[in-house]
Amino acid sequence: MSNKYETVIGLEVHVQLATKTKVFCGCSTAFGARPNTQVCPVCLGLPGVLPVLNRKAFKYVIKVALALGCDIQKTVKFDRKNYYYPDLPKNYQISQHDMPLAYDGKVTIVAEDGNTTDIRVTRAHLEEDAGKLLHDPGLPFSYVDLNRTGTPLLEIVSEPDIRTPEEAHRYLVTLKQIIKYLEVSDCNMEEGSLRCDANISLREKGAPGFGSKVEIKNLNSFKAVRDALAFEEERQAGLLDDGEKIVQETRLWDEKKNVTVSMRVKEEAQDYRYFPEPDLVPFEVRADLVEEMRASMPEMPRERALRFSRQYKLGEKDVEVLISEKDIADFFEQVAGCFDKPRVVCNWIKGEIMRHMNERGTDIRGLNLKPGDLAKLIKMVDDEFISGISGKDVLEACIETGKDPAAIVRKKGLEQVSDEGALEGIVEKVIAENERSVTDYKSGKTAALSFLVGQVMKATKGKANPKLAGEMLRRKLG
């Protein structure tokens, strides 16, 4: 994009709160059930039923509000947003209009170079999710599944403080990290528990006010958000360069073609006829409730990062990896609590543990690895009781079977052989059988020694203490 323009981006994020039941009724919020099996008269919007607010959903919003540094409304009310759509069985959504539960907060994002920027949060409010519509390709019908209807939804609206698609991406990563730390949502974009719409406009650098904004929908991943905004930035700059006007509209991101497409040219002015929901009473946010929520907050990512580098003397990059998810950071601390070499623990987590997570496509919990077991394992390697290679095998077996690593070592007979007497014969044999390497070593090619150590390891099925084997070889070839 030519640097004539400044990009202005605001994001609207919807997060499904991880309550067991819906926001106004006792139906399950579990994902993936058969259609219309998690519904009751309340979420079906049948005549005569009434909503009753889920206390946990309310508390979760307060937690998020505190984490985003928001002001919190003293008395909370809900409003009806009236519009017709078949995934909204009452034809109104219970939401919050003029008095959102939380307002005036911020998300601090850290750029690649370590600089921080605050993105202001305008508001965060609680509302009910709508159902899902499926379309029959080729047939003039749509099908309505109301399982999702009434799932508690937290809407977080940013100020138009974001200036680049990359910043938008970081905002989302950071917001997701915060929400996951609070354990109030699993923020899974594939299952729709985190959704994002973006508003983007361009203005000439230094110009006051804003250009006409375009809303982008159908953003199904963080990458899609970044790509769609980058596309839209270029598209709008191109139009402006050609002296054309930007049409205020909603556009859909087409992930396959990597373009945004106009959804409709002319939108009828929305008239939602908000008014206070008479079926719900006002809710006071008392100071003691806020304090209770504050006390229940975990240490948040930024604070934890600072503490990690201080307490564990780890580098910035290592810290970022460890704190990226609360579960990983918790796991690290539990292991480091049992084995007091944080850097060694960090390397195991960054390396082997994350490899297993990736291979298995699971998070750290999904590995079902006890922190104490990993600590034991790392200690055995560190003490040279077993070799590093064996350590990796034991970890694999640990994850597969859930058994105690010491027991696995015993059973597999992996204890490292550090007894010279036991290795003597094998070392002799390796020297005898590898004349070429012996000659190389003697003529000054020290690298040949590694090969010979390798042969000793091979002959002992990895059990030989490689350090000892090296020493013995050096002595004998001396």
Q: Which residue has the tokens 């946010």?
A: 285
CA 288 – CA 293 distance, rounded (Å): 9
Among 7, 16, 38, 455, binds other proteins (CB under 8 A): 38
133 binds other proteins (CB under 8 A): yes
Among 4, 55, 343, 360, binds other proteins (CB under 8 A): 55
- Near other proteins in 190-229, by CB under 8 A: none
Please calculate the CA angle 466-347-350 and round it to the nearest 5 degrees. 130
Nearest approach in angstroms of CB 201 to other proteins is: 23
| Size of site (CB under 8 A) for other proteins | 69
Contacting range for other proteins; rule: CB under 8 A; set: 19-27, 99-107, 300-308, 322-330: 19-27
Tokens of 260: 């945004």
Task: Please identify, using beta-carbon distances, which residue of 142 and 248 lies nearer to other proteins.
Answer: 142
CA 7 – CA 167 distance, rounded (Å): 11
146 binds other proteins (CB under 8 A): yes
Question: First CA to last CA across the chain, in angstroms?
Answer: 66
Burial 5-37 (b: 16+ CB within 10 A, else e): bbbbbbbbbbbbbbbebbbbbebebebeeeeee
58 binds other proteins (CB under 8 A): yes
Residue type, 230: A
Please calculate the CA angle 318-371-353 and round it to the nearest 5 degrees. 50
CA 333 – CA 347 distance, rounded (Å): 13
279 binds other proteins (CB under 8 A): yes
Task: Please identify, using beta-carbon distances, which residue of 44 and 173 lies nearer to other proteins.
Answer: 44
What angle, 0 to 180 degrees and rounded to 10, lies between the N-to-C axes of helices 301-311 and 326-338? Answer: 20
For the purposes of burial, counting CB atoms within 10 Å of the CB of 369, is it exposed (0-12), middle (13-18) or buried (19 or more)?
A: buried
Task: Please identify, using beta-carbon distances, which residue of 75 and 443 lies nearer to other proteins.
Answer: 75
SS (H, E, C) 416-453: CECCHHHHHHHHHHHHHHCHHHHHHHHCCCCHHHHHHH
288 binds other proteins (CB under 8 A): no
Among 111, 207, 247, 281, binds other proteins (CB under 8 A): 281
Tokens of 93: 């959504």
**Which residues are paired to 72 by β-bridges?**
102
343 binds other proteins (CB under 8 A): no
- Near other proteins in 422-461, by CB under 8 A: none
Q: Tell me which DSSP letter residue 21 carries.
A: B
Taking residues 77 to 116 in sequence order and writing x for each that binds other proteins by CB under 8 A, - otherwise, the string is: x--x-x-x-x--xxxx------------------------
Among 139, 287, 295, 432, binds other proteins (CB under 8 A): 139
CA 112 – CA 296 distance, rounded (Å): 31
247 binds other proteins (CB under 8 A): no
Contacting range for other proteins; rule: CB under 8 A; set: 134-142, 187-195, 433-441, 470-478: 134-142
Task: Please identify, using beta-carbon distances, which residue of 46 and 306 lies nearer to other proteins.
Answer: 46
Task: Please identify, using beta-carbon distances, which residue of 248 and 311 lies nearer to other proteins.
Answer: 248
49 binds other proteins (CB under 8 A): yes
Tokens of 8: 């202005």
Check if the beta carbon of residue 418 is closer than 8 Å to that of residue 384.
Answer: yes
284 binds other proteins (CB under 8 A): yes
117 binds other proteins (CB under 8 A): no
Nearest approach in angstroms of CB 178 to other proteins is: 22
407 binds other proteins (CB under 8 A): no
Task: Please identify, using beta-carbon distances, which residue of 47 and 421 lies nearer to other proteins.
Answer: 47
**Which residues are paired to 79 by β-bridges?**
95, 276
Among 1, 40, 300, 354, binds other proteins (CB under 8 A): 40
Which residues lie near other proteins (CB under 8 A)? 19-21, 25-28, 34-41, 44-58, 75, 77, 80, 82, 84, 86, 89-92, 133-136, 139-146, 263-266, 269, 271, 273-276, 278-284
